[in-house]
Structure 1
Amino acid sequence: MPRFMGFVRMEEGIGMPPQALMDAMGDYIGERAGNGTFIDGGGLYGTEDAVNFVVRQGEVSRVDGPYAEAKEIVGGWSLLQYDSLEAAVADQQEFAELHAKHWPEVTVVATLRQISDGPEAPDA
């Protein structure tokens, strides 16, 4: 069964989502956890305490947040599994529509990426 990572990108420092979105997401995630689609996931704090390790030309350097240049950050993630790519895409659209309905004033990018189990190409 194909597995996927979902990411939610949004502007840094926009505040907490409205309660209506939190409630809708609770129902959405609860339903998918119950049917085995949602494996794990959660929200992420801002970049104020983030740590990056940058590898450049064989050297490793540590860069601590906050990052003044960060305008858009990953605000949440999920590990999901579906019977098909089509089912995953349809459900990711439903996830995005929850945000459009309950937090319309914020720009959110909901990204879905298939997880590689090896060197083969993703399912089509």
Structure 2
Amino acid sequence: MPRFMGLVRMEEGVGTPPQALFEAMDAYIGKQAANGVFLDGGGLYGTEDAVNFVSHKGEVSRVDGPYAEAKEVVGGWAILDYESLEDAVADQQEFAELHAKHWPEVTVISTLRQISTGPEAPGE
């Protein structure tokens, strides 16, 4: 079965999601976990304490947050296990619709990416 990573990106500093979204997400994730789809995941804090290591031209440098140039940040992640790409896409749309319904004033980008297990192409 293919595994996927779900990512939630949003603008930095938009505040705490409303309680209604937390409750809807708890129900959604509970259902997905019971179905064996949701394997692990969680929310992420802002970039104020983030640390990046940049490899450039054979040198590594450390860059600490916050990052004034950051427009979007990853706010959450999930590891998901599906029977098919079609099932994964359908559930990712449902996940995005929860955000649209319960936090409409914030632009949230829900991204789904298949996890590579080797050199093969996605879907193989």
Smaller-chain TM-score bracket: over 0.9
- Alpha-carbon separation, structure 1, partners of 2:89 and 2:31: 17
Task: Return the alpha-carbon distance in structure 2 between the equivalents of residues 43 and 6 of structure 1.
Answer: 11
Distance, in Å, in 2 between the alignment partners of 1:51 and 1:59 is: 16
After the TM superposition, which segments of 4 or more aligned residues of structure 1 sit over 3 Å from their partners? none
Deviations 1:91-120 (A, max 9, x none): 000000000000000000000000000000
Distance across 2 between alignment mates of 1:87 and 1:20: 25
Partner of 1:37: 37
Q: Distance in 2 between matches of 1:11 and 1:69?
A: 11
The count of corresponding residues between Structure 1 and Structure 2 is 124
Q: Which runs of 5+ in 2 are unaligned?
A: none
- The answer for the alignment partner of 2:17 in structure 1 is 17
- Secondary structure at 2:29 match in 1: helix
1:81 aligns to 2:87 (yes or no): no
One-letter code of the match for 1:44? L
**Structure 1: where are the runs of 5+ without partners?**
none
RMSD: 0.7
Give percent identity, aligned residues only: 79
Which residue matches 1:48? 48
TM-score, structure 1 normalization: 0.99
Aligned to 1:117: 117
